[in-house]
Amino acid sequence: MGYLPPPTGKWQLVCLTLTNSVSLAHFGYDQGIFAGALISPDFIATFPETKDPAVSGITSSCFSLGAFFGCLASFLLGDRLGRKKAIYAGLTMNVVGVVLQVAGYHLPQMIVGRLLNGFGMGVISSTCPVFVAEASPSHIRGKLVVLGSLCNTVGFCVANWMNYAFFDDNGPFQWRFPLAFQLVFSAIVAVILPVTVESPRWLLMQGRLHEAQVVLARLRGTEHDLDDTKLNDELRSIQKALQDEQEARVSIGDTLLGRDSLRNLHRLVLSCGTQLMQQFSAVNALSYYLPTLLIESVGVSSAYARLLAGANASLYLGAAFICLVLIDRVGRRRLMMYGSVGTGSCYLVAAITLREADLHPEQKAGLGKATVAMFFLYYFCYGTSFAKVPWVYNSEINSLGWRVRGAAAATATNWMSGFVIVQFTKVGVDNLGWAFYLLFAGFCWSYLPIVFLFYPETSHRTLEDMDEIFKRCGSLLVFRDTALTQRSRPQALVEAEQRRIREASAGTPV
């Protein structure tokens, strides 16, 4: 592709969004595809140790453990490498991990492959949303980040239907080919990434002002007019915010003790909190084990369980498209609060129907259908709320100097929480039965007051607005301040941006 002119304007945003979207589709695909492998007769024969629920749990959840360490690597090295190099590093680890899994005949090799695959995905999943957020105009930032997360759902949907397509093939092809298909996602990213630009905000943070100006011009479609007023006003606003941030910067120790004016620890906790809420709504408990749960808890056949999982994934995909429409219109806070009530209620009803099925075996078929309906409705509520909002939120809320660190910490929280949930779901269902779902109902309902009290709105704000929000707000509680909770951009933030532009113009012009 070297002979083609590099894309500019909207096409550059398309390339960035595709990089993010295909990478997160790979993440979603892995969440869905391993569920089919776990119930494949040849997989069980090849790895008989997985008949033990604890071993089955670690084989699934070690992907999340690897991703946790990938996020830690991104936290430590992300700002040194830059956004593109970090994605290249994650991509390489992904490929090595997939090859080891596909060629695996011994459980240690499979686990190492999943750990490496997860490590690469941890790096990519903590970098890509930040990359897109830093390059996107504020009025479409939420949609572009959600589009990437939506493709996570596309990958999950493709994986579930692939599991169903191969349900009657009891040989190694049934699970080795679906695992190998992950290489398609890596190949697409490897083709697109070279023609994307680096993040202009990262370039500014490295002191590469002219490169940042050129890159931002390519992103905004004004590469032939570097003197464009809108372009340079945006650059000055970012530059001034970065300068203010550097002047206010304190040591990591002081930051972690809450002694900085930008309140990076507070923002870090909020971004990690969204991912903790996402995982403890137990989506991965259903993602990895839905066919198993349908077979063991509801009593359907293996083929029907795969069909239901595929249909559920399609509903989940539809919900993700609805979230794409709602994310900027409704705002982040309202979607999370709605998701709390909706997902918690679904788990409560599912627990009740499963309990009634235990007490009244003659009604198990009808009650089983009601349970399946609750799982489907859960995915709709989750898909229109917590499936997407946390990825947007943690790419927005942190300051520039802490954006990759914050996203990495939040994503690490996601992966570690996912590891815990996946590791203990099978054991929990086996030991607690219907009561296990009551735990998740309680978790989900607790998010409503947490979001209402503590989470400021981030929609329709520029990334630099986040610094202003946390400079002005001295309290942890935000619900009393309409400027912090309204969907539209407050006038005070508009005025602060104009002030930054004036101050930057009076200082060192671009």
Residue 299 scores a pLDDT above 60: yes
Looking at the predicted structure, is the pLDDT value of residue 252 above 80? no
Residue with tokens 């599991």: 163
Helices (H), 249-294: 252-256, 264-279, 283-293
Confidence band, pLDDT 50/70/90 cuts, at residue 288? low
Average pLDDT, the chain: 83
Q: 404: Cβ–Cβ under 8 A, 6 or more apart, which residues? A: 74, 75, 78, 79, 83, 126, 127, 130
Is the pLDDT confidence value at 292 over 70?
A: no
Is pLDDT at 322 greater than 80 in this prediction?
A: yes
Lowest mean pLDDT among 105-109, 347-351, 417-421: 417-421
| pLDDT score of 298 | 67
- How confident is residue 116, by pLDDT bands cut at 50, 70 and 90? very high
Give the residue, 460 or 9, on which the prediction is more confident. 460
Q: What is the pLDDT of residue 336?
A: 95
Q: Is the pLDDT of residue 2 over 50?
A: no
Kindly calculate the radius of gyration of the chain based on its CA atoms and give it in whole angstroms.
Answer: 23
Residue 168: predicted pLDDT? 75
From the list 339, 335, 354, the residue with the least C-alpha distance to 438 is: 354
Q: Can you read off the two tokens belonging to residue 20?
A: 């993010």
Comparing 500 with 62, which gets the higher pLDDT? 62
**What number of CA atoms fall less than 13 Å from residue 423's CA on the CB side?**
12
pLDDT at 184: 94
CA angle 283, 286, 291 (to 5 degrees): 160
Q: Quick one: average pLDDT of 22-39?
A: 83
Homologous superfamily of 10-497: MFS general substrate transporter like domains (1.20.1250.20)
137-189, pLDDT tens digit by residue? 777 777 777 787 788 878 888 887 888 888 777 788 888 999 999 999 999 99
Model confidence at 1, in pLDDT bands (50, 70, 90)? very low
Answer positive or negative: Cα dihedral of 192, 198, 200, 202.
positive
pLDDT of residue 9: 67
Query: To which residue do tokens 């304007």 refer?
Result: 9
d(CA 478, CA 193): 39
Question: What b/e sequence results for 136-159 when a residue is b if at least 16 CB atoms lie within 10 Å of its CB, and e otherwise?
Answer: bebeebbbbbbbbbbbbbbbbbbb
Rounded Cα distance between 353 and 367, Å, is: 6
Segment 254-285, tens digit of pLDDT = 676 667 777 888 888 999 999 999 989 888 77
Q: How confident is the model at residue 100 (pLDDT cuts 50, 70, 90)?
A: very high
pLDDT confidence tier of residue 287, bands split at 50, 70 and 90: low
End-to-end CA distance of the chain: 33
Most confident of 334-343, 424-433, 495-504: 334-343
Is the pTM of the predicted complex or chain greater than 0.85? Answer: no
Higher pLDDT, 98 or 497: 98
> What number of other Cβ atoms are within 10 A of residue 200's Cβ?
24
223-246: per-residue pLDDT in tens?
A: 777 778 888 888 888 887 777 767
Sequence-ordered list of residues with C-beta below 8 angstroms from that of 85, at least 6 positions apart, any chain = none
Mean pLDDT computed over 405-428? 79
The per-residue pLDDT for 507 is 61
Cα separations (Å) of 374 from 363, 369, 442?
17, 9, 16
Return d(Cα 160, Cα 144) in angstroms, integer.
25
Inter-residue contact 320 to 150 (CB < 8 Å): yes
Residue 338 has pLDDT above 60, yes or no: yes
Q: Per mean pLDDT, which of 85-89, 193-197, 202-206, 368-372 is the most reliable?
A: 85-89
What would the mean pLDDT of 83-98 be, rounded to a whole number? Answer: 93
CB atoms near residue 435 (< 10 Å): 13
Boundaries of every domain in the chain: 10-497
